[in-house]
A and B are shown apart, each in its own frame.
Chain A
Amino acid sequence: MNVSHTLTVTKNEDQGAGYFHLVAQAPELARAARPGQFIHVHCAPSVDPLLRRPFSFYRLRPEAGEVEIYYQVVGKGTHLLSRIRSGTKLDALGPLGQGFPLDRKAQRILILGRGMGTAPLIALAEAARTQGTEVSAILSARNSATLVGDRLLASWGVEVITVTDESGTSAPEKVEPLVAAALDRPGTAQAFVCGSRRLARLLKRLAAARGIPAFVSLEERMGCGLGGCLVCACRVRTPEGETYKRVCKDGPVFPLEEVVLG
């Protein structure tokens, strides 16, 4: 399969707080991609920055031939990306990696996201709502300006609980009862987390105690994105002992019980 695509940017909008929302025409990619997978984008035709940047899908809209990403300007690559105008062509590889294993028969799922890490969970929630699955969402962020996707989720009928550092509601001990209550809701069949190691550790413990399958989408500095260069390693526990897996190819979504969260 050729994973090389040329995206045509149709929107690249400043959302405040250094966040941007990019929409691009890429019909083939939109059809092939699944929530939790990512695209590996060459942010500028240059050798500085040299490497691509990985972005999980924020929304997949195959009917419109569009994919969407939500990103934060953190370095040279994302800075250049933020300056791209509508109509610009982008060189991207995708869809890459393993997506979220959403159970088709799940009555309800829980999504737990922090900051930018909420982005892939939005695509997941949309897929869940489309198949009739209920979604509980707990979103965490530094402040209300850096919450991602809360209004979109609410518009799909998702019950959203938001916690922020600013309001003093986001500490793990304060989030724990919220997560526990969400997991204990009848019908909750799966749980997904992204954007915070602390929240991932919390979910791992609470979900394991209840026997609910839980998954994490991991972030790591990437090279090739195709599993060839082995730079994006994450520590996992296997029957043979601890080893490294590739975030780009074996992940970015992993069962939480497998991942060693340092």
Chain B
Amino acid sequence: MKPDLGVEICGLKLKNPVMPSSGSFGLPGYEEYMDLNGLGALVVKSITLHPRAGNPPPRIAETTAGMLNAVGIQNPGVKWFIKNDLQRLRRFTPPLIVSIAGTTVEEFAQATELLEKEEGIAAYEINVSCPNIEAGGRAFGMSAAATQAVVAAVKERTRRPIFTKLTPNVTDIVEIAQAAVEAGSDGLTLINTLLGMAIDVKLRRPVLANVFGGLSGPAIKPVALRCVYQVAQAVKVPIIGTGGISSATDVLEFLLAGASAVQVGTANIVDPYIMPKIIADLEKYLEENNAASVREYIGALKTH
């Protein structure tokens, strides 16, 4: 019998636990290159109330086993998204998760109100953790009180599940996770990118026009695993794990650490076809290891 790859998070039924991380995978857009219906869920690039042009280039710097990005939440704004992208994305079968970002609590609230009127959205991801939206890499997610304010404002305006996406750029991620859950976050996504920088010695300049950027890719996987494990020990809500995942065994590591589903980010940028491969490999791995369901791995880490 084929192993069962299905998972359920906050009422969302996913046929497998693999979805793209926000901003790493063109949605809409990539339906031109592959069948999107094989994915566990679809997560769009963060939308803000007003359109954002994004940061000047260069916006990317390659690092050892990773990359820095400073795109700056370039997006057409929520109204354009609803009128255009959402119409295209509704056609696909995996649950659609809309990521919301903003520079004020009010912007998150207003964007949620507009999206809430629309059909075809399964859940929201609240991006309080982008290091590129404010000067100096600041983010709401660096403060428990600010995280709580954003989450509460969104929660008040929706009946859909919300996943708050947390930043690792904090002293204690557990404290922020608990604050988000107390404010009504139904689940958590972790982690967003690590704040970093790269320098061009010849030019004596930062590589990124924005100076700072978010570090992602295989280099950050150990940090992400540690964060997922710590938070899973402290909260009861489902966790979507993300950070450097590029293989089926990476997925299982995150599930063992306590995640119920995962997001693939930078690996999509290297290989747009990586998620279907990971899903196929995951099924194969479970079959070879006599596991009836992927759910057997969730939180099943042995520490004694």
- On whether the two chains bind one another, the answer is yes
Docked CA distance A52–B67 (Å): 12
Contacts of A216-258 to chain B: CB distance below 8 A: 220-224, 226-235, 242-244
Cβ–Cβ contact B60 & A48, under 8 A: no
Give the residue name and chain of the B residue nearest to A93 (CB): B272
Contact of B269 among A4, A229, A234 (CB under 8 A): A229
Residues from 161 to 185 in A contacting B, C-beta threshold 8 Å? none
Residues A234 and B272 in contact in the complex (CB < 8 Å), given A2-B33, A50-B67: no
- Tally of A-B Cβ pairs under 8 angstroms: 101
Residue of B nearest to A52 (CB): B270
- List residues of chain A with CB within 8 A of the CB of B69: 223, 229, 231
Name the residue among B57, B65, B217, B271 with the largest chain A CB count within 10 angstroms. B57
Mask, A45-58, CB within 8 Å of B = 1, is: 00111111000000
Question: What is the bound-complex CA distance between A120 and B280, given in angstroms?
Answer: 38
Chain A neighbourhood of B29, CB < 8 A: 226-228
Q: Report yes or no: A50 in contact with B66, Cβ–Cβ below 8 A.
A: yes
A114 to B304, CA, bound (A): 64
B212 at the interface (CB under 8 A from A): no
Query: Which of B34, B64, B71, B270 makes the CB contact (< 8 A) with A231?
Result: B71
From 240 to 258 in chain B, residues with beta carbon under 8 angstroms from any chain A beta carbon are none
Measured between alpha carbons, how far is A52 from B64 in the docked complex, in Å? 14
Residues A233 and B26 in contact, CB atoms below 8 Å apart:
no
- Total residues of chain B contacting the partner, CB 8 A: 37
Given A230-B59, A231-B59: A2 and B34 within 8 A (CB)? yes
A233 touches B273 (CB 8 A): no
From B34, B54, B217, A233 is in contact (CB under 8 Å) with B54
Complex interface: chain B residues within 8 A of A48 (CB) = 64-65
In the complex, which residues of chain B have a beta carbon less than 8 angstroms from the beta carbon of A234? 57
Contact between chains at B272 and A226 (CB < 8 Å): yes
Interface size on A, residues (CB 8 A): 30
In the complex the two chains form, what is the Cα distance from A217 to B33 in whole Å? 24
Chain B residues 7 to 36 lying within 8 A of chain A, measured CB to CB, are 23-27, 29-30, 32-34
* Contact of A145 with B by CB under 8 A: no
Q: A51: shortest Cβ distance to chain B, in Å?
A: 5
Neighbouring A residues of B59 by C-beta, 8 Å: 221, 230-233
Which residues between 43 and 58 of chain B lie within 8 Å of chain A, taking CB atoms? 45, 53-58
| B68 closest partner in A (C-beta) | A231
The yes or no answer to B62 lying at the interface (CB within 8 A) is yes
Q: In the complex, A4→B53 CA distance in Å?
A: 30
By the criterion CB–CB under 8 Å, are A51 and B57 in contact? no
Which chain B residue shows the least CB distance to A262?
B56
B266 at the interface (CB under 8 A from A): yes
Bound: A221/B71 CA distance, A = 12
- How distant is the Cα of A47 from the Cα of B218 in the complex, in angstroms? 8
- Indicate whether B74 reaches chain A with its CB closer than 8 angstroms: yes
Q: Would you call B230 an interface residue if the criterion is a C-beta within 8 Å of the partner chain's C-beta atoms?
A: no
Smallest Cβ distance from A75 to chain B, in angstroms?
Answer: 8
**A32 interface residue, CB < 8 Å from B?**
no
Tell me the complex Cα distance, A43–B56, Å.
27
> For the complex, what is the distance from the CA of A146 to the CA of B79, rounded to whole Å?
50
Q: Which of B30, B71, B270 contacts A50 (CB 8 A)?
A: B270
CA distance A222 to B268 in the complex (A): 13
Residue of B nearest to A222 (CB): B60
Measured between beta carbons, the chain B residues less than 8 angstroms from A89 are none
User: Which residue of chain A has its CB nearest to the CB of B62?
Assistant: A51
Name the residue among A232, A233, A243, A244 with the largest chain B CB count within 10 angstroms.
A233
How far apart are the CA atoms of A49 and B67 in the complex, in Å? 10
Minimum C-beta distance from B218 to chain A (A): 5
Report B-chain residues with C-beta under 8 Å of the C-beta of A228.
24-27, 29-30, 268-269, 272
A11 to chain B, nearest CB (A): 26
Decide if A129 is an interface residue (CB 8 Å cutoff): no
The answer for the CA separation of A226 and B24 in the assembled complex, in Å, is 11
* Residues of A close to B30: CB separation below 8 A: 226, 228
Q: Are A229 and B24 in contact (CB under 8 A)?
A: yes
Question: In the complex, what distance in Å separates the CA atom of A52 from the CA atom of B266?
Answer: 12
A53 to chain B: closest CB distance in Å? 10
Instruction: Kindly state the separation between the CA atoms of A230 and B56 in the bound complex, as whole angstroms.
Output: 11
Could you jot down 17 A-B contacts, CB within 8 Å? A1-B33, A47-B65, A48-B64, A50-B66, A51-B60, A51-B67, A220-B58, A223-B269, A226-B29, A228-B27, A229-B24, A229-B71, A231-B57, A231-B58, A232-B60, A243-B53, A244-B74
Query: A2-B273, A228-B27 are known contacts; what are 4 more A-B pairs with Cβ within 8 Å?
Result: A4-B273, A50-B66, A51-B62, A224-B24
- A interface residues with partner B (beta carbon < 8 Å): 1-4, 42, 47-52, 93, 220-224, 226-235, 242-244
Closest 7 A/B residue pairs (Cβ): A228-B26, A231-B60, A47-B65, A231-B59, A224-B269, A223-B269, A233-B57
